[in-house]
Amino acid sequence: MTPAEWPHGRAEIEALLRGRRLEQVPPSTDNALALIARARLHLATAEAVAPTDPDIGMDALHDANRKALEAVLLDQGLRTTRDGGHTAPYEAAKAQLRTSARTARPELFVYEVVRRLRHGADYASYEVHLTASDVGDDLADSHALVEICSRLVGSMPAFRPDPAR
């Protein structure tokens, strides 16, 4: 696939690369599938611990969602850098998985919801007090996100920068 034929999001991915929020690495479907397996394990952990420790349950949901998006990137030969933090995987996925109407898939929204809840509980002066139902509210959507990502692994081409840019 030539750069001009690349699926949605080329400009956004290249901007993330230029901004050093993403970096190129060798594509690895095997490592991507391992991340998907870990994401599924984190979903099970979230469900198991939510009744007694909802903060850890939300952490596990966030880790599951992040690893699922990172798996899609890794399969394409992309990886989030320290500067990219926990927002670059979402930005990359949102750019690549938009529909023809230029809207992101609704399944992606759970990533940002969980990330913000987790951040609020962990870092925002402990202003957010999570409950088991908070974790439960986002569990099904997180499962859907991980499954979408698992289907994408192996189906998206490796990213090649556009030499004209």
Residue 161 lies in a domain: no
Rounded to an integer, what distance in angstroms lies between the CA atom of residue 73 and that of residue 29? 10
Helix (H) or strand (E) holding 154: none
8 Å CB contact between 57 and 131: no
Query: How many CB atoms are located within 10 Å of the residue 32 CB?
Result: 25
DSSP 159: P
What pLDDT shows up at residue 101?
A: 47
Q: Tell whether 158 is covered by a domain.
A: no
Any domain includes 59: yes
Beta partners for 22? 80
Residue 85 corresponds to which tokens in the numbers above? 């933090």
Q: Is residue 120 part of a domain?
A: yes
What pLDDT score was predicted for residue 16?
Answer: 94
In this predicted structure, what is the pLDDT of residue 48? 97
Range of the domain at 77: 3-152
* Nearest alpha-carbon partner for 139 in 60, 21, 81: 60
> Which helix (DSSP H) or strand (DSSP E) does residue 20 occupy?
none
Residue whose token pair is 């930005």 = 91
CATH number at residue 85: 1.20.120.330
- Positions in the chain short of pLDDT 50: 1-5, 99-103
Confidence (pLDDT) at 35: 97
Residue with tokens 């999001």: 9
Whether the pTM exceeds 0.85: the reply is: yes
pLDDT of residue 107: 73
pLDDT digits (tens, 9 = 90+) for 67-104: 999 999 999 999 999 988 888 998 998 888 764 444 45
Question: Among residues 33, 85, 65, 37, which one has the least CA distance to residue 135?
Answer: 65
pLDDT tens digit sequence for 8-17: 688 899 999 9
Residue 163 in domain:
no
157 lies in some domain:
no
